[in-house]
Amino acid sequence: MHIVKDYDERKAEFLDTAMGLFLERGYDDTSVNAIIEAVGVSKGAFYHYFSTKEDLLDELAARAGEQAMALTAPVVEDPELSAIEKMNEMFARTNAFKAQNRELMITLARVFYSDRNALLRARMTRRSVEATAPALARIFAQGKAEGTMSVAHPEQTAALILELGASVVSGFARKLGEIDRDPTIADELLLSMDVYVESVERILGVASGSLKLVDDSLRSVVRAATQTKGTKEKKDD
C-alpha cells in the first residue's frame, strides 16, 4: 500500500537515508538511484525535493548547521552570562552531546573523515562554520565590550577559530582510527586538544586557563576508543 507522507517528513526521510548510505558507501559511490531505492519511491519524488545529489548534500550540511545552532542558541542569548562563560558553555554542551553518543561519534569519525567522504566532509564543515560563526562573533563582541577579550574583528576571528577547530578535528579523527594499532596515540590526541585551547586563548587574548573548551566528557570519547580496542582484543583472544 502506498503511504503518503507530508513534505517535511518525506524530505527528512531522504536526508536520513542518504546520510546513512554516504557513511556506509561513501558520497561518490552512492548514486541517486541507490537513495531512491532505499527510500522506496519514484525518481520523480526525489527530484521534487532535490535538483541533484549535490543539492541534497547542501541540505544535509544546512541541517547539521541548524542542529548545532539549536543546541547553542540559548547560551548566546542568556543575558546573565559573561562572554567567557558563554563560550565555555557552548563547548560544554557540544562536548556533552558527543560524550553521550560516544560510540556513535567514534564510528562516524572513522567513516566521515575517510578519503571517500572528502566532499561530504568539506561541504558540511563549511556550512557548520557559516551557521556558527555569527553566534560566536556576538560572544567575541561582548567579550571585547567587557574588556575580557582582545578581538579587533569578531566576525573574521570567529570564522578563523572555527576553521582551525575543524582542521584539528580532521587530524584528530584520522588519528582516532590509528588507536586500534597504537593505544599511545590517545595521549597525543589529548595533547592536541590542550594545544587547541591554548591557541584559541592566545588568539582571543584571554588569560591562560580561562577557556574550558575541552572537558572530561570529550576526553571520555578518546578513552572510549582505547577501551573499545581493548575489548575487541579480549574477544579475539
Domains and their CATH numbers in the chain = 7-49 (1.10.10.60), 76-236 (1.10.357)
User: H/E/C letters for each residue in 190-207?
Assistant: HHHHHHHHHHHHHHHCCC
pLDDT of residue 28: 82
pLDDT of residue 232: 45
Exposure of 13 by Cβ count < 10 A (0-12 exposed, 13-18 middle, 19+ buried)? middle
pLDDT of residue 189: 82
Distance CA 199, CA 208 (A): 10
Return the closest-CA partner of residue 24 out of 118, 112, 98, 123. 112
Residues of the chain falling short of pLDDT 70 = 1-5, 98-99, 101-111, 176-177, 180, 216-218, 220-237
**Using N-to-C axis directions, what is the helix angle for 216-236 and 83-100, rounded to 10°?**
20
pLDDT of residue 148: 95
Q: What is the Rg, in whole angstroms, of the alpha carbon atoms belonging to the chain?
A: 20
Q: Which residues are CB-contacts of 113 (< 8 A; sequence separation ≥ 6)?
A: 121, 170, 173, 174, 177
pLDDT of residue 218: 62
In the block, residue with C-alpha cell 577579550: 149
Return the closest-CA partner of residue 168 out of 216, 228, 119, 218. 218
Cα 81 to its chain centre, rounded Å, is 24
Give the Å distances, CA to CA, from 142 to 87, 91, 233: 11, 17, 50
Distance CA 18, CA 38 (A): 9
Give the Å distances, CA to CA, from 112 to 15, 22, 119, 160, 219: 16, 9, 10, 22, 20
What's the pTM value of the predicted model, to 2 decimals?
0.71
Residue 96 cell numbers, joined: 556533552
Residue 38 cell numbers, joined: 532505499
Q: Which residues are CB-contacts of 39 (< 8 A; sequence separation ≥ 6)?
A: 13, 14, 17, 45, 46
Each residue's pLDDT tens digit, 53-100: 988 988 887 787 777 778 778 899 999 999 999 999 988 887 777 667
